[in-house]
């Protein structure tokens, strides 16, 4: 268990144990330039558990984070962060959670988390990825395939 947490931590940059036993907090940076190119969330994908949290950190200014409403598990809360603001999201339901930076949606600035087995909205999330604009379609389609 500890070994797998360390491995994920090395991959994601920072993972810390949250207060709740067994729950993890993933830190996701909003960047003008990341390892996958310009205007990215880093990391751009994650496999997480119900009860985990994601902390979106405005490392560079001019980004926000908000839910892709067609990529939201049933019963999960819509998120809409302000520009340049940190947002903490608790993943309370199983399924795929999609997020976008509104100013850079067409550039493919997206983040997807598969929570649990992802099944509750897997088909809807795949359809939303295929319908996304510009570079977001390419990124989300690839990310959904990688998370399977
Ligand atoms: Cu952005």
Give the model confidence (pLDDT) of 80-123 as tens digits.
999 999 999 999 999 999 999 999 999 999 999 999 999 999 99
Spatial separation of the C-alpha atoms in residues 136 and 108, rounded to whole Å: 4
Q: pLDDT tens-digit profile of 22-66?
A: 899 999 999 999 999 999 999 999 999 999 999 999 999 999 999
CB-based contact 25:13 (threshold 8 Å):
no
Interval between CA 63 and ligand 1 midpoint (Å): 4
Q: Show the domains of the chain with their CATH numbers.
A: 2-147 (2.60.40.420)
Query: Ligand 1 centroid to 4 CA: how many Å?
Result: 30
Residues by chain with Cβ below 5 Å of ion ligand 1: 63, 101, 104, 109
The model's pTM: 0.85
């Amino acid at each position: 268990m500890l070994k797998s947490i360390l491995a994920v931590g090395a991959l994601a940059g920072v993972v810390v144990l949250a207060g709740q036993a067994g729950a993890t907090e993933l830190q996701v940076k909003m960047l003008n330039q990341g390892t996958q190119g310009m205007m990215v969330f880093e990391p751009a994908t994650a496999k997480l558990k119900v009860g985990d949290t994601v902390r979106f950190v405005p490392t560079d200014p001019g980004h926000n984070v908000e839910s892709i409403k067609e990529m939201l598990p049933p019963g999960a809360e819509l998120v809409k962060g302000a520009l340049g603001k940190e947002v903490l999201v608790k993943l309370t339901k199983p399924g795929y959670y999609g997020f976008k930076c509104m100013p850079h949606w067409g550039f493919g600035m997206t983040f997807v988390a598969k929570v649990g087995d992802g099944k509750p909205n897997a088909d809807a999330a795949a359809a939303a990825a295929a319908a996304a604009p510009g570079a977001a379609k390419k990124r989300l389609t690839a990310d959904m395939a990688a998370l399977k």
